[in-house]
């Protein structure tokens, strides 16, 4: 056998002798290396709460920047330690907003993160900086609005509008938020099933915008419920003159407005209405001829009557 053939035989025996044992050993070595290597370079991003120390409520300026509730903190370290950490385990030092009441940029640095395991470090914080802006606080009176909902008891209706006390609320807060307020809405006044009379309730105002306070936070509302009424108008009702046959009336017709219970009001007909003038002067007798203003009268039981105009000129 040549030297070359003998060398090949020796190499083949070295490779094939206990082959599977050698293969398993190599695989385990690679797996162990990969475990050690990956443990040294594990990374994870956690959400950590952002806490801010706010200025006193009595301060002349107010924060108008919306701060994020959390920041993203990327950490690196041994895989096992990284896997066991949660966002609530880490704390970010409170951001102090009490010292500056103007525009400010506040940097968030790794040194501000506490609660880390010894072998874990902070790679980055997103956002790395927080911008804050403050505005002057101003007070402003804003009108309050509410409305009724539901239906009162049968045969009843709402009379007039809802009365509020106070009529306006004082809104105090950043100028940009307060100046755009047009109206402050109160809870609806539910009149479902209410009977006749005056009803009073305290209604809460809807929550104000962020950074704005209302004074007061509620309003006293009252309304009146009365019997259901119907309204009818008769535009041309002839005016009669009592006791004067040749008298002339100016204007000869008047408008009659009637409101009352629907059954009575809606049953009225124009031909049943008699508007008249009783030309009498208290303590005196009427002269043979003359002219004077007299009240127009019209009586209908159970309803309210309004006449336009109330007086007419009678010439006789």
**CA neighbours within 13 Å on the CB side: how many for 33?**
6
pLDDT bucket at 96, cuts 50 / 70 / 90: confident
Per-residue model confidence (pLDDT) at position 84: 81
Domains and CATH numbers, the chain: 42-132 (2.170.120.30), 136-227 (2.170.120.40), 230-315 (2.170.120.30)
Structure tokens that stand for 2 in this block: 């040549």
Instruction: Say whether pLDDT at 92 is over 60.
Output: yes
CA dist 316 and 314 (Å) reads 7
**Is this structure's pTM higher than 0.75?**
no
The predicted-structure confidence for 195-206, as pLDDT tens digits, reads as follows: 999 999 999 999
The predicted model gives 246-264 an average pLDDT of 90
Per-residue model confidence (pLDDT) at position 244: 84
Q: Which among 75, 162, 160 is positioned nearest to 116, based on CA atoms?
A: 75
Would you say 277 and 249 are in contact if contact means Cβ atoms under 8 Å apart? yes
Residue 16: CB partners within 8 Å, gap ≥ 6?
A: none
Per-residue model confidence (pLDDT) at position 10: 57
pLDDT bucket at 14, cuts 50 / 70 / 90: low
Structure tokens that stand for 81 in this block: 């330690």
The predicted model gives 222-242 an average pLDDT of 91
Per-residue model confidence (pLDDT) at position 36: 54
The predicted-structure confidence for 34-73, as pLDDT tens digits, reads as follows: 555 555 568 889 999 999 888 887 888 888 888 899 999 9
Per-residue model confidence (pLDDT) at position 169: 97
CA dist 308 and 313 (Å) reads 13
| Alpha helical stretches, state H, 54-161 | 79-84
Distance set, CA 288 to CA 144, 197, 282 (Å): 63, 53, 16
Structure tokens that stand for 165 in this block: 């006390």
Residue corresponding to tokens 């402050």: 184
């Amino acid at each position: 056998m040549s030297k070359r053939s003998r060398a090949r035989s020796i190499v083949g025996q070295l490779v094939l002798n206990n082959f599977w044992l050698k293969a398993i050993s190599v695989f385990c070595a690679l797996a162990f290396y990969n475990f050690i290597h990956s443990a040294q370079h594990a990374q994870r991003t956690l959400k950590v709460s952002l806490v801010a120390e706010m200025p006193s409520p009595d301060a002349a300026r107010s924060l108008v920047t919306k701060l994020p509730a959390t920041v993203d903190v990327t950490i690196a370290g041994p895989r096992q330690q990284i896997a066991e950490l949660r966002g609530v385990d880490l704390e970010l030092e409170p951001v102090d907003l009490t010292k500056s009441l103007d525009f400010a940029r506040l940097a968030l640095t790794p040194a501000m993160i506490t609660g880390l395991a010894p072998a874990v470090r902070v790679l980055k914080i997103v956002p790395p900086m927080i911008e804050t802006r403050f505005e002057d606080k101003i007070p402003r009176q804003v009108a309050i609005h509410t409305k009724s909902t539901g239906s009162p008891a049968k045969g009843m209706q709402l009379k007039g509008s809802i009365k509020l006390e106070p009529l306006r609320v004082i809104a105090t807060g950043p100028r940009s938020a307060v100046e755009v307020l047009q109206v402050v809405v109160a809870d609806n006044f539910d009149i479902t099933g209410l009977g006749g009379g005056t009803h009073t309730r305290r209604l809460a105002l809807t929550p104000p915008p962020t950074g704005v306070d209302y004074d007061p936070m509620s309003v006293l509302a009252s309304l009146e419920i009365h019997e259901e009424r119907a309204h009818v108008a008769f535009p041309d009702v002839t005016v009669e003159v009592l006791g004067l046959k040749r008298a002339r009336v100016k204007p000869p017709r008047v408008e009659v407005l009637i409101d009352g219970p629907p059954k009575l009001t809606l049953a009225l007909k124009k031909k049943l209405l008699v508007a008249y003038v009783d030309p009498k002067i208290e303590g005196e007798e009427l002269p043979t001829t003359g002219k004077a203003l007299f009240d127009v009268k019209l009586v209908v039981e159970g309803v309210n009557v309004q006449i336009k105009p109330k007086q007419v000129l009678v010439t006789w």
